[in-house]
Amino acid sequence: MKVRGYAALKAKAPLTSWEFERRELGAHDVALDISYAGICHSDIHQAREEWGPAIFPMVPGHEIAGVVTSVGAKVSKFKVGDKIGVGVFVDSCRNCQACKDGLQQYCVEGMTGTYNQLERDGKTPAMGGYSNVFVINEDYAVTIPNNLPMEGVAPLLCAGITLYSPLKNWKAGPGKKVGVMGLGGLGHMGVKFAHALGAEVTVFSHSESKRADALAMGTDHFVVTKDPANLTPLKSSFDLILNTVSAELDINLYLDLIKLDGTLVVIGLPGKPYAVEAGGLLAKRRSLAGSMIGGIPQLQEMLNFCGEKNIVSDVEVIKADYINKAYDRTVASDVKYRFVIDASTF
Ligand code: NAP
Ligand code: ZN
Ligand code: ZN
């Protein structure tokens, strides 16, 4: 079927209006009219080839919230009119242990990304959510709670789950000191979830101007990182720090803040390696870990949690023709706190 969207036609090119084909509905597929698509910093990294060679034309977008318009003959999970979400992957092998455990993002064959990847047929380039219509296998979509506004939900499909998952995995909760580095799209969801889970939350930000917002979101302490001396009194005091910063930084400054047996989780993906001082790691038996989005069962769990606690992303809704400006503003850390595209403007 013919659909409309926005694409980068080549690396680093500005995104432009583009018509393309999506597959017709298979027996297990659902079609959705996209309501909103979030702009993740990963979209920018990939459209600008900051992670290495990419596939063009590229329709980015892996934070997709929409409404089901038709269902394939064998679909049992959804019906027309349901509000559903699609995140960072659209398929996986379904047979490996990770897939069986609902950790499709760690599929041994590799998850099939929502864009910038070939579908499992090995030849069709996957096209993402900056578009008016999407087609998805029902097993890789999730139900959006009815009480939540769709524009605030879209970013949950990547930014939300990417912070929810490590907070659950490393058991953030009452009595735990949790740090969030970078108050952007991911970071602000980390603050909301860590606060809702009962942890004591500290934001590390290089933007003093975000202090009041951070406190309103549930942050207990706001530390401005432009002066590293601000970190010194916090040495060895955190159970868990989540690094969502999209740019290069000295990771050792933050490793030093982890207490005995605590963990620093790398989430941001600047594209260049970190230099880690061995002494800082072994001094307090610290762990340096990584975490990538979350699987389908946890994605649904996170959305249900958001429905119960009324948690959504803080968004700035834009029209399609503002995408390039939104990219530049995101890179300049000038976003409160996620740009979301109104899909009726494609
Ligand atoms: P974002 O909205 O741009 O937020 C990144 C934040 O990092 C900024 O708001 C800023 O926060 C801080 N920052 C940016 N440049 C900085 C600099 N030069 N020095 C210090 N701090 C800086 O990006 P996002 O969408 O949240 O994504 C963050 C990163 O996570 C990206 O690299 C993205 O690719 C990656 N990601 C990973 C996963 C995963 O599964 N692990 C999933 C999605 C995205 P302050 O202004 O508060 O300092
Ligand atoms: Zn993302
Ligand atoms: Zn698999």
CA of 271 to the centre of ligand 3 (A): 25
| pLDDT for 101 | 98
Together in a domain, 321 and 253:
no
Together in a domain, 198 and 175:
yes
In whole angstroms, how large is the CA radius of gyration of the chain? 20
305 domain residue, yes or no: no
CA of 191 to the centre of ligand 1 (A): 14
Written as one letter, the residue type at 64 is I
CA of 243 to the centre of ligand 1 (A): 8
Q: What is the pLDDT of residues 49-67, one digit of tens each?
A: 999 999 999 999 999 999 9
Together in a domain, 246 and 124:
no
Q: Which residue has the tokens 């060679």?
A: 53
- The first and second tokens of residue 10, run together, are 């080549």
CATH of the domain at 222: 3.40.50.720
236 domain residue, yes or no: yes
Q: Please, which residues have CB less than 5 A from ligand 3, an ion? A: 92-93, 96, 99, 107
How far is CA 13 from each of CA 16, 47, 57, rounded to the nearest angstrom? 9, 8, 10
295 domain residue, yes or no: no
197 domain residue, yes or no: yes
Last residue of a domain, one of 258, 290, 322: 290
What's the domain range around 216?
A: 160-290
pLDDT at 188 over 90: yes
CA distance 227 to 194: 25
Together in a domain, 47 and 103:
yes
Together in a domain, 201 and 174:
yes
| Nearest ligand 1 atom to alpha carbon 210 | 47
Together in a domain, 93 and 235:
no
Q: What is the pLDDT of residues 234-286, one digit of tens each?
A: 999 999 999 999 999 999 999 999 999 999 999 999 888 999 999 999 999 99
How far is CA 5 from each of CA 59, 226, 320, rounded to the nearest angstrom? 7, 39, 8
> What are residue 41's phi and psi, to 5 degrees?
-60, -25
| pLDDT for 178 | 99
Number of Cβ within 10 Å of residue 174's Cβ equals 8
Q: What is the pLDDT of residues 209-219, one digit of tens each?
A: 999 999 999 99
Which of 246, 335, 340 most suits a substitution to test ligand 1, by most atoms within 8 Å of the C-beta? 246
CA distance 114 to 63: 9
Together in a domain, 10 and 129:
yes
Residues 43/159, Cβ–Cβ less than 8 Å: no
Report the mean per-residue pLDDT for the chain: 97
Residues 342/36, Cβ–Cβ less than 8 Å: yes
pTM score above 0.75: yes
Together in a domain, 65 and 180:
no
298 domain residue, yes or no: no
- The first and second tokens of residue 151, run together, are 């524009």
Q: What is the pLDDT of residues 137-155, one digit of tens each?
A: 999 999 999 999 999 999 9
- The first and second tokens of residue 6, run together, are 């926005």
CA of 76 to the centre of ligand 1 (A): 37
246 lines ligand 1 (CB under 6 A): yes
| Nearest ligand 1 atom to alpha carbon 337 | 2
pLDDT at 311 over 90: yes
CA of 220 to the centre of ligand 2 (A): 26
45 lines ligand 1 (CB under 6 A): yes
32 domain residue, yes or no: yes
Together in a domain, 81 and 25:
yes
| pLDDT for 220 | 98
pLDDT above 90 coverage of the chain, percent: 99
158 lines ligand 1 (CB under 6 A): yes
Mean pLDDT of 165-170: 98
Together in a domain, 66 and 199:
no
Nearest-CA residue for atom 10 of ligand 1: 182
CATH of the domain at 327: 3.90.180.10
Mean pLDDT of 70-96: 98
Written as one letter, the residue type at 49 is E
> What total of structural domains would you count in the chain?
2
Together in a domain, 149 and 256:
no
Nearest to 309 by CA among 195, 154, 215: 195
Together in a domain, 175 and 151:
no
| Nearest ligand 1 atom to alpha carbon 105 | 40
Centroid of chain to Cα 180: 15
| pLDDT for 271 | 81
248 domain residue, yes or no: yes
Mean pLDDT of 18-40: 98
106 domain residue, yes or no: yes
| pLDDT for 19 | 98
Nearest-CA residue for atom 20 of ligand 1: 206
